[in-house]
Amino acid sequence: MDEHPHSLFTRRATLPITMFVQVAASAAVIAPTVAAPLLVRRLHLAPAAVGFFIALVYLAAMFSSPIGAALVRRFGPIRSSQVALVISAAGLSLLASPWVPLAALGALLVGVGYGPITPASSQMLSSTTTPRYFALVFSIKQTGVPLGGVLAGLFVPPLVALGGGVAALAGTAALCLAGALSAVPLRRELDAGRDRANARPGWRQMTAPMRFVLGHPVLRSVAACSLVFSMVQVSLTSFLVTFLTSDLHWTLVAAGAALAVSQVGGVVGRIVWGLVADRWLGARRMMLALAGAMAGCAAAMLLLGGREPGLAALALLCLFGATAVGWNGVYLATVARLVPPQQAAAATAGTLFFTFFGVVIGPPLFGAAGSAFGSLGPAFALLVLPLAWTLWALWRADWSI
């Protein structure tokens, strides 16, 4: 069989287009949090409502991701991605409503649109990428997640200044529609393998990806590890500024700069870890190394002190971000490598169910630990325990399958 069944244009265009789609989908999740001060005021809610927005988004994504795998089989990965982005744009429009129930529905729709994006892109990349470059290509594509945050941080404040929170949401919705249009040139080739006779998504189709993952020993271990990794990631990104300002008494400007350093580390880490996994370590040893490095960084958070961001502290936070935010590309490439290309969407959707579950339960568990200790430093150190379990699970899995 031809190693490259697609045209040269499709093979070269798939990565940048899937990356742009990912940027748009991620911006749809992050932009409302940037405009949150104005939006929660319109809704007469407390600032803590932002946490409920994130929970609703990822709760919906948990279930829309496996449904997305069925949509990919029936309609193709491009059409599924386009529909997902349109749904996200509709959700952003509802978030502009001054009525809380409509805004909550908007948050759910943003999550419904976010869930199918990664399974669809995994299907596309696995069929257009040479396997030896999987980790690098998937990692580059996953930089779209933090880049979506960077883009939202850059264009949302000016739009808020010009037209308020509603203008910011409208601009983000327009970005989602632009992402949907950008994928049009790839639809003829990449949607050619769709099965129109495939059953419409129902309960059995929705749960099939999870059952597939649970029945595969290595995928089962990788999915469980992604749950822990996502808990660590969301704990770092959600609580770092609070930890630095409340526990260590850093200024908000210094804490914000430290968060930016950790996110830049995540962008660079996604590419570097993918390259290292492809050329030297392989998927298993790379994930073991990432779990070990995360555990070391989590424990070292107890050593942070002082009221100023010293060089050692920034280096620690950069490494923590590089590992805790930068693991996704290697993980998704590992999932795609373990199954035939036509099963990549189902395998990705099944594992993402557990990944998103970690995002949903991570913040409340971490916050509860911080409240119990009266400080967030010990809560970071407690992350060592689930990370130690991931080291054991990855080590004992039979990777010869």
DSSP code of 129?
S
pLDDT at 262: 86
Does 87 or 278 have the greater pLDDT score? Answer: 87
Residue 2 tokens, joined: 């031809």
The answer to whether residues 216 and 389 touch, using CB atoms and an 8 Å cutoff, is no
The answer as to whether 132 is a domain residue is yes
Contacts of 139 (CB under 8 A, 6+ apart): 270, 271, 273, 274, 275, 326, 328, 329, 330, 333
The answer to whether residues 72 and 348 touch, using CB atoms and an 8 Å cutoff, is no
Map tokens 């971490």 to a residue.
366
Residue 298 tokens, joined: 């989590």
As for how many domains the chain has, the answer is 2
Whole-number Å distance between alpha carbons of 79 and 57: 22
Task: Identify the band that residue 374 occupies on the pLDDT scale cut at 50, 70 and 90.
Answer: confident
The answer as to whether 45 is a domain residue is yes
**Which of 130, 150, 184 is the last residue in one of the domains?**
184
- Answer yes or no: do 180 and 259 share one domain: no
- Answer yes or no: do 333 and 380 share one domain: yes
DSSP code of 215?
T
Whole-number Å distance between alpha carbons of 92 and 44: 18
The answer as to whether 11 is a domain residue is yes
pLDDT at 139: 83
Q: Is 247 exposed, middle or buried (0-12, 13-18, 19+ CB in 10 A)?
A: middle
How large is the angle between the packed helices 203-214 and 217-242, nearest 10 degrees?
Answer: 100
- Cβ count within 10 A of residue 203: 7
Rg value, the chain, Cα: 20
pLDDT digits (tens, 9 = 90+) for 34-62: 777 778 788 888 765 776 788 889 899 98
The answer as to whether 352 is a domain residue is yes
pLDDT digits (tens, 9 = 90+) for 232-258: 998 888 788 778 888 888 887 787 788
Residue 69 tokens, joined: 């795998």
Q: What is the mean pLDDT of the chain?
A: 86
Whole-number Å distance between alpha carbons of 193 and 201: 18
Nearest to 267 by CA among 93, 187, 147, 148: 147
Whole-number Å distance between alpha carbons of 289 and 307: 31
Tell me, what CATH number does 306's domain have?
1.20.1250.20
The answer as to whether 192 is a domain residue is no
Quick check: 335 pLDDT over 60? yes
- Answer yes or no: do 235 and 377 share one domain: yes
Mean pLDDT, residues 329-336: 86
pLDDT digits (tens, 9 = 90+) for 275-332: 898 888 888 899 999 999 999 999 999 988 766 667 889 999 999 999 998 898 888 8
Q: How many helices (H) and strands (E) does the chain have?
A: 18, 0
What does residue 198 show for φ and ψ, rounded to 5 degrees? -60, 140
Map tokens 């961001």 to a residue.
309
Domain that holds residue 141: 1-184
Cα angle vertex 244, ends 241, 245, to 5°?
85
- Answer yes or no: do 226 and 303 share one domain: yes
Residue type, 278: D
What does residue 270 show for φ and ψ, rounded to 5 degrees? -60, -40
**Which of 128, 150, 184 is the last residue in one of the domains?**
184
Does 153 or 91 have the greater pLDDT score? Answer: 91
Nearest to 4 by CA among 78, 12, 343, 142: 12
**Which of 127, 152, 184 is the last residue in one of the domains?**
184
Contacts of 291 (CB under 8 A, 6+ apart): 225, 229, 387, 390, 391, 394
pLDDT at 299: 96
The answer as to whether 200 is a domain residue is no
- Answer yes or no: do 178 and 213 share one domain: no
Residue type, 70: A
- Answer yes or no: do 17 and 103 share one domain: yes
pLDDT at 138: 87
Whole-number Å distance between alpha carbons of 17 and 35: 27
Whole-number Å distance between alpha carbons of 333 and 283: 8
Look at residue 371 and give its three-state secondary structure: helix
pLDDT at 16: 94
Whole-number Å distance between alpha carbons of 68 and 235: 27
pTM over 0.85: no
Nearest to 301 by CA among 189, 378, 199, 204: 378
pLDDT at 109: 97
Go through the chain and tell me how many residues it has: 401
The answer as to whether 381 is a domain residue is yes
The answer as to whether 197 is a domain residue is no
Mean pLDDT, residues 80-97: 95
The answer to whether residues 318 and 240 touch, using CB atoms and an 8 Å cutoff, is no
- Answer yes or no: do 157 and 233 share one domain: no
The answer to whether residues 147 and 26 touch, using CB atoms and an 8 Å cutoff, is yes
- Answer yes or no: do 170 and 245 share one domain: no
